[in-house]
Structure 1
């Protein structure tokens, strides 16, 4: 296993496979299937450790864990002009900036 493993893992049930699947956000192409969630997590962590070791050995870049990246808090979103107009009107009617309205709406989104 990696000594400082700060990658982002998720274990979920795969109905299609009939097993739990371990995933890593920073390595989207990797996964590990197992009969129980703990084994799926352990499996994907080992696969990531092996891939990181291979990348380091070959001198290739290793993805930075999402948890340690610094974020500005800014990003641009393109929307259709009519949606833009509707959001501006909603913000004006609510007495807030478009930025505040969008931030509030995004904070309520659950993935």
Structure 2
């Protein structure tokens, strides 16, 4: 896997600081990873259902399924979630917002006792 440098200037044009960019990209990469894992598991279950063999109690580890190996290789060749998230940030496809700063320990300033 080759290292692909990203121009920091393009990233900083989209966000206020590099730390903010790291948080945004990391959260988006997790979302992408979860979607890819869900897709992989669904396709794997479909594949297992199509090629289901009667299980014997003696056989715990069978031969490798070539279709399953092909599926694994297909998912390994896809771009990594962090790379996809960085590309989305550079293209302006990621929208983000800040949580409202709610401090549960703040004193009530409205005089309600």
TM-score scaled by length of structure 1: 0.27
Structure index of larger Rg: 2
Q: Report which of the two has the higher share of helix.
A: 2
Using CA pairs below 8 Å that are at least 6 residues apart, which structure has the higher relative contact order? 2
Give the number of the structure whose residues are more often strand, by fraction.
1
Q: Which TM-score applies when normalising by structure 2?
A: 0.27
